[in-house]
Amino acid sequence: MTISPLVSLRERLPQLKLTTDATDLEHYGRDWTRRWTPAPLAIALPADIAEVQTIVRWANETGVAIVPSGGRTGLSGGAVAANGELVVSLERMNRVLGFDAADRTLTVQPGIALEAVHNAAREHGLIYPVDFGARGSCQIGGNIATNAGGIRVIRYGNTRNWIASLKVVTGAGELLELNRSLVKNATGYDLRHLFIGSEGTLGLVVEATLALTEAPPASQVLLFAVPHMQALMQVFGACRSRLQLSAFEFFTDRALHHVRAHGAQAPFEQVSPYYVVTEFDAADEAAQAEALAVFEHCLEQGWVSDGVLSQSEAQARSLWRLREGITESLAPHKPYKNDISVRIGVVPAFLQEMQELLTREYPQFDVVWFGHIGDGNLHINIVKPAEIDYAAFIAECERVTELMCEVLRRHGGSISAEHGIGLVKKAYLASARSVEEIALMRGIRAVLDPRGVMNPGKLF
């Protein structure tokens, strides 16, 4: 008779919230990717750092693998547990632990939702500027583990820029306090940054101190209809040089089609192949007049064919919904996702080449483009045609991803801009990182997680 390793975990932590309920295994064993069937051993929901540390030490002794789990809104399979792992959900560790007015930092537990972080910062008259559509469900620990990007990166950068300090439990079970919120700290390697974007392969984030900043002035949202692909970056150039932008996003008519099928209203009478949503500071009439002047200039140049400027917060929100509703509207179709990036200067040439490639390779597929074009990050989603079987569809998409990797390599781009590698893009890591880099990453992983218990099989 084999004794379940959970018995010894129970003995060590009698008070630990642990579940093997079938619904829980299903719920916590997957993220927003729907490709893998969840099959975790159990779900642990620790209440504090000491419990996390004991779980990791137990995993080292028993060899049971750990899958760290936040809001599971990831799109690369990084939080999937399909091989008898113990899922460690941080959702009960979801409190704000403190605010420091002098340092302008907020200390939080990892399971707090991004939206709750936004609200807490606002209560102190400041903002935490990283933002994206999954804000209500994703958790800050997962944001850190994936170095989440989103819609404000052109102004504020990625999550990495806003982490003042971190407490982590390494794969060996050691508790590290990294950087202690120092602005300057020239004492060797900044290990904090190794954990940011490590996709749960080095350890678990158990506490974070986030840097906050001042709220920008009041803003407005402009939605443009753009008649051709090459005009997208011309509109970006015009907006960036004259307005103080906090977002510059695009989507295609196919994306709008899906969002409308999901309940959104068409913004214009005429359909356009491309749309841009941009948000900018509009504190006074001069800034608003400048936005209208930019619009007129773009119209004269033939870069846009129509536009709407938000006149209220409600209208701004409804324009944003056209862009932020895309992921949800596509989810029932289980799309194959690509999340790629190139340097901003390369975007026009890259767009051209990608469009040719996708038109040639996917004539029968519904290809939905959208994303953060202002920072060079494009989401290319392929929707499965009803008549094709799922496995054949994925195989076809993977064949085209290889061709895409070749284009990316030529343009010096990346196969994952912000979603991470996880399981979905593991086979393509070598297209963006050199053999030497991957060998060094493996070495770092082996040092911090010598028994290989942290999220095995993810990343590489």
Residue 245 C-beta: closest distance to ligand MLT, Å: 17
Do residues 72 and 415 make contact, with C-beta atoms less than 8 angstroms apart? no
Query: What residue number has its CB nearest to ligand MLT?
Result: 327
Residue 132 C-beta: closest distance to ligand MLT, Å: 6
Q: d(Cα 239, Cα 5) in Å, to the nearest integer?
A: 59
Binding residues for ligand MLT restricted to 130-149, rule: CB under 6 A = 133
Do residues 30 and 38 make contact, with C-beta atoms less than 8 angstroms apart? yes
Q: d(Cα 231, Cα 233) in Å, to the nearest integer?
A: 6
Nearer to ligand MLT, 53 or 143 (CB): 143
Binding residues for ligand MLT restricted to 79-108, rule: CB under 6 A = none
Q: Tell me the three state secondary structure of residue 106.
A: strand
Largest Cα span, the chain:
79
Total residues at interface with ligand MLT (CB under 6 A): 6
**At 279, phi and psi to the nearest 5?**
-120, 140
Does 374 participate in binding ligand MLT (rule CB under 6 A)? no
Does 379 participate in binding ligand MLT (rule CB under 6 A)? yes
Does 327 participate in binding ligand MLT (rule CB under 6 A)? yes
Residue 27 C-beta: closest distance to ligand MLT, Å: 21
Residue 260 C-beta: closest distance to ligand MLT, Å: 17
- What's the per-residue H, E or C state across 266-319? CCCCCCCCEEEEEEEECCCHHHHHHHHHHHHHHHHHCCCCEEEECCCHHHHHHH
Residue 14 C-beta: closest distance to ligand MLT, Å: 40
Residue 152 C-beta: closest distance to ligand MLT, Å: 11
Nearer to ligand MLT, 204 or 358 (CB): 358
Does 78 participate in binding ligand MLT (rule CB under 6 A)? no
Residue 98 C-beta: closest distance to ligand MLT, Å: 30
Nearer to ligand MLT, 277 or 407 (CB): 277
Strands 377-383 and 366-372, by their bridges, are antiparallel
Do residues 198 and 421 make contact, with C-beta atoms less than 8 angstroms apart? no
Binding residues for ligand MLT restricted to 331-370, rule: CB under 6 A = 339
Compute the chain's Rg from CA coordinates: 23
Among 129, 111, 42, residue whose Cα is nearest residue 72? 111
Q: Using CB under 6 A, list all residues that contact ligand MLT.
A: 75, 133, 327, 339, 371, 379
